[in-house]
Structure 1
Amino acid sequence: MTVDEASTIQIEQLWVPDSLDKADAADFLAAVEVSRKVRMQTWGTDDLAYTPLEKLLELADPYERQIILVAKIDGIIVGTADIALPLTDNMDLAEFTLDILPEYQRRGVGRQLLEAAEQLARAEGRTMILVDTNHPAASLHTQADGQLVPGSGLGFVPIASREVDFAQRAGYALQHIEQFSSCALPLDSKLVAGLQSEAEEANAGRYRLHHWTDRCPAAWLEAVAVLENAAGEVAPEEDEAGPELSGMVFDAGILREAEEAAVAQGRRTVVTAVEDLATGRLAGLTTISVLAQRQDVVFQDDTIVLQEHRGNKLGLLIKVANMERLSEQFPDARVIYTWNAPENRYLLTVNKQLGFTTAGVTGLWQKELPDMGPKMTSSE
C-alpha cells in the first residue's frame, strides 16, 4: 500500500537546534520520539532509545558527521533516516539507521527516505552504504528454510521479516550478524565469587588488575594503544568490539582525544585492564560505557585479550571485575547490553556464565553505490 495523493510524503533535512527548550526544537523532539517508538515496537523497551538531550550531545561527535532526514505526512514526522559519515577514516562509507512509525510502515515512507539518504551519501562522495536490521529473539525460532545466512556464513536473520524484505528489495546484501544480549545488574554476589575463583585459579597469580574511570592513567596510555591496534590485526576470538570497520591506528594522543570527546558528551567510561606481571605489559582490557542522561542502562564495549595470553580466563577475570566496579560507581545501573559476532565463541561463553541472555540479533547489510565519475560542468 502506498500513501494516497492527499497525503504526499515530504522528505527534508532535520534542523538541529542549539537548545531543546526553544520553539525551533519541536521537529527535533518529534524525530527523537519516532526513534523511541520504533525501538519500543522492536524490543518491547525503550532502553536503546536516545533521550533528546543524549541525541543532541551525540551529534557533536568529532569523529563522524551526522545528518538526519525526516519524512513528513501532513506536516507530521513519521520516519527518520540517520546518516553517519565517518570523518577520520573509511571516507567512502556512510551508515544509515532508518526508523518508521509502526502505523506508517509498508506505505512507501522507508523507500523514499532510503532513496533520499543514498542520494545525499553519493553527493558527499560516499559509495559504500551500511544499513542494519534488528530482530528480537522471539522472531528467531524459524526452520532452516526460513533463515537468511550472511556472507560470513555464521548466524541468520528471519527471511519473513519485513526489514529483511525491505533491505533485499533495496539492493542490500547481508554481510554479517551480531548477537545482541542483555544481563541484569548488579550481579549475584555468589555468582561473582565463584567466577572470580575460577578465573584466578586459571591464571595462577601471574596477572594484576588495574582500574580507571573516564581517563587512562598516563603510565598505561601507550600500552592501551598497543592493545587497541593488536585487536584490529587478529581474528576477534576474544574481542568484543564486533567487526572492525576502522582503519585508525591508535596512539596516546588519539586515545586522549577520544576520552575527551566522550567526556564532552557527558559519557562515563569504566575500564579494567590486566597486567602480565612477568613483562609489566597489559595483556587485556574491557570497557563499559554509561550514557550522560540514562545511567540505568549501560553498554559493554571492547573486551580485548592479546592472543599470547589467551587460555588463562583473562576475559572472564576482567569482565567480572569491571561489572562489579560499575555497580559500585553507578548503583542505578540495572541492565547491561552487548553485541558479539557469532564466531566469538569464547566471549559468548563468558557472557553466558555472567548471566547474559540473547535478546535478538542485528543484521548488517551492505550496498555499493555506482561510481558516478567526476562531476562535469557545462561549457559556456
Structure 2
Amino acid sequence: MIIAQIALPASAAPSRAMTELRRIVEQNVAEIDGDAETVYSPEMFTRHYRSQHTWRVIHLLAIDGEIGPRMESSYGLPLLAGSAEGIALWGDDPATPISLTPEAPWTGEVIGMASVEAPLRETVDAAYVDINAVLGREDAYRPLWEAAKAICLAEGRTKITAYADHPFGDELSAPSSELTLARTRYSNFLESAGFELTQTETCSRLPLPADETIAATLTAEALEKSGGYRTVSWAGPTPEEHRRDLVTLISAFHLDMPAAGIVEAEVNFDIDRLIEGDRRLEALGIVSLTTAAQHIESGRLVGHTRLDLLPGSRAVVQEDTLVLKEHRGHRLGLLIKMANLRQLNAIAPERTFIQTWNAGENAWMWAINERMGFRPHNGAGQWQKDIAAG
C-alpha cells in the first residue's frame, strides 16, 4: 500500500486523484447518511483545495498497487496531481505555481483517503483529520492515520480532532451530553488509535417545503415577543453596511458554541476575513442566505442565521445561528430562522431539505429546530487525541 499526497491544484479542473478522493468520501457519507447530497462535487473539492488562506489543507490517498516514480512532497510523500494540468509545485505566490509537470498515468486502486486541516489564524496547536476507507479495506485506516499524524507533528499540531458520522445507538457516549451513538468501522479504528469521544451531536433534517401551518404559528409567536427588533435579509456577500456587526456576531458564535474536549475556543475574525470568506463561497458556487435581527433603536445587528445552498444538490445546509446574550429572551432566534426560511422558499423552492447539526448539550437550539419540523437523521461524534502525549 502506498500513501501519496495530492499536490495543490493549479486550476479548478479536477485530476484523477481529486475525483477518486471525492468518490471515497461520497461512499463513506452515503454509508451512514443514506445519500451523499451534502458532499462537494469533484470541482468544488478542487476549488476548496486551492484556497489555503485561513486553513492549511493536505489531502492524502491510500493506493493499492503502483503509481510509478514520483516527485516527493516536503513531507516525503509521493505527489499526485491536484488538477488536470499536472503536478504543480508552489513558492510564495499562491496564484502561480513555480512549475507544472504533466502527470504520468498510474494504475493503482484508491482504497482510502485522509485530509489534514490546520487553522492558520487561531488554535494553531490544533488540526482536524478526516479518514475514510473503502468498505472491506479498513487496513487503509492505520497507514493513512500514521501519515496524517506525521504531518501534524511536523506542523506543530498536537491536539487532533476527527469528526465521524454515526447511527444512533447505545454503545458510545461522551461526558458532555446524554446523546448516545452506535459504533462504526471508523469509530472502532479511532478507539484503537487512542482517540476519545468528547462530544456527540444530532444531525437533523427539515423536509421542504416546510409545513405552512407550523411556519405561520411560529412566525406569529416570534413577532409577538420581538417588539423593538426587525429582520434584515440578504443573499450572497455581506452588504458593506452590515460587515462590522456581522464580524461581532460571527466571533461571538465561535466563542459561544458548545465546546468539549481538548481544543480551547479561540477566534481571530475581522472584516478582511469576512470579505475573504464571502469570496470563497462565491468561488465554490455556494449561495448563502442570511437573516439578521436588528435592534431598531440602535440600528445594530444583534443576531444572525445563515443557510448555504450547495450547487447541483437538493440540500441546504444550516450554518451559524446566534443571538447576542444581552438580547436573548425575545424569540429572536426563532424570528430570524423563520424569516430566513421564507427567503429560502422564495429563492430556491426546488430544494428538498435543510440539514443541520446540534451538540447534544445544546438543548435550546434543538428545541427551536424541533418545533420548526427538523427530525433526527443520524448522529455525529467528535473524537480527539493529544499526540504530544504519544
The equivalent residue for 1:214 is 236
Residue number in structure 2 paired with 1:169: 192
Aligned residue in 1 for 2:43: 53
SS in structure 2 of the partner of residue 102 of structure 1: coil
Q: Distance in 1 between matches of 2:279 and 2:269?
A: 15
2:251 maps to which of 229, 242, 252: 229
- In structure 2, what is the equivalent of residue 126 of structure 1? 157
Q: Which amino acid aligns with 2:165?
A: N
- 1:164 Cα offset (Å): 2.6
Shift of 1:232: 4.2
Q: For residue 281 of structure 1, report the CA deviation from its aligned partner.
A: 2.1
Could you tell me how far 1:72 is from its partner in structure 2? 1.1
CA deviation vs aligned residue, 1:307-328 (integer Å, no higher than 9, x gap):
1222221111110110110121
Counterparts of 1:193-272 in structure 2, within 5 Å, are 193-203=216-226, 205-234=227-256, 247-272=266-291
Q: Deviations over 1:186-233 (max 9, x none)?
A: 212222211111111222x32111011122222222222222233344
SS for the counterpart of 1:333 is: coil
Q: Which residue of 1 aligns with 2:105?
A: none
1:250 match: secondary structure: coil
Change (3 A) 1:266 1:369: same
SS in 2 for 1:41: helix
1:187 aligns with 2:187: no
Q: Tell me the distance in 1 between the aligned counterparts of 2:181 and 2:199.
A: 10
What is the alpha-carbon distance in structure 1 between the residues aligned to residue 196 and residue 130 of structure 2? 16
When residues 19 and 229 of structure 1 are mapped into structure 2, their CA distance, relative to the original with a 3 A threshold, is closer
Report the secondary structure of 2:266's partner residue.
coil
Per the TM alignment, residue 111 of structure 1 is displaced from its structure 2 partner at its CA by 1.1
Once residues 58 and 122 of structure 2 are traced to their aligned partners in structure 1, the CA distance between those partners, rounded to angstroms, is 18
Deviations 1:34-84 (A, max 9, x none): 111111212111113221011111113321121111111131001000111
Pick the aligned partner of 1:87 from 92, 102, 120.
120
Cα 1:152/1:218, change in 2 over 3 Å: same
Range with greater deviation from structure 2 (348-357 or 10-19) = 10-19
Task: Indicate whether 1:40 and 2:33 are aligned.
Answer: no
2:293 is aligned to 274
Post-superposition offset of 1:249: 3.2
* Structure 2 Cα separation of the partners of residues 252 and 64 of structure 1: 17
Structure 1: segments with no counterpart, 5+ residues: 1-8, 373-380
- TM-score where L is the length of structure 1: 0.84
Q: Check if 1:284 corresponds to 2:303.
A: yes
CA contact (8 A) 1:295 1:330 kept: no
Amino acid across the alignment from 1:304: L
Report the 3-state secondary structure (helix = DSSP H, G, I; strand = E; otherwise coil) of the residue aligned with 2:329: coil
State how far apart, in whole Å, the 2-side matches of 1:216 and 1:361 are: 32
State whether residues 210 and 275 of structure 1, in contact with CA within 8 Å, keep that contact through their aligned partners in structure 2: yes
Q: Is the 8 A contact 2:111 2:134 kept in 1?
A: yes
Q: Distance in 2 between matches of 1:48 and 1:209?
A: 28
2:55 to 61, 64, 78: 64
Q: Which residue identity does 2:203 align to in structure 1?
A: F
1:225–1:28 distance in 2 versus 1, CA, 3 Å: closer
Instruction: For 2:357 and 2:350, locate their aligned partners in 1 and report how far apart those are by CA, in whole Å.
Output: 22
SS of residue matched to 1:370: helix
Task: Please give the secondary structure, in 1, of the residue aligned with 2:149.
Answer: helix
Q: CA deviation at 1:275?
A: 1.1
Deviations 1:132-176 (A, max 9, x none): 221124xx2x3xxx3x32232442333x43333211110111111
Q: SS at 1:45's partner residue?
A: coil
Q: 1:309 aligns with which of 327, 343, 346?
A: 327
How far 1:371 sits from its partner (Å)? 7.0
Equivalent AA in structure 1 for residue 2 of structure 2: Q
- Distance 1:285-1:46 versus aligned 2 partners, 3 A rule: same
Kept in 2, the 8 Å contact 1:149–1:157? The answer is yes
Q: Matches of 2:266 and 2:257 in 1, distance apart? A: 15
Residue 247 of structure 1 and its aligned partner are, at CA, apart by: 2.2
Counterpart residue identity of residue 346, structure 1: W
Aligned pairs, number: 345
Contact 1:59 1:65 in 2 (8 A): no
Give the structure 1 partner of residue 130 of structure 2: 97
Q: Distance in 1 between matches of 2:35 and 2:313?
A: 16
Matched, 1:114 2:136: no
C-alpha deviation, 1:272, in angstroms? 0.3
2:331 matches 1:339: no
Cα 1:197–1:244 change in 2 (3 A) is: farther
8 Å contact kept, 1:15–1:27? no
**Deviations 1:238-282 (Å, cap 9, x if unpaired)?**
x9xxx9966223333332222222223322111000112233222
Distance, in Å, in 1 between the alignment partners of 2:269 and 2:141 is: 37
What one-letter code is carried by the residue in structure 1 that aligns with 2:63? Answer: K
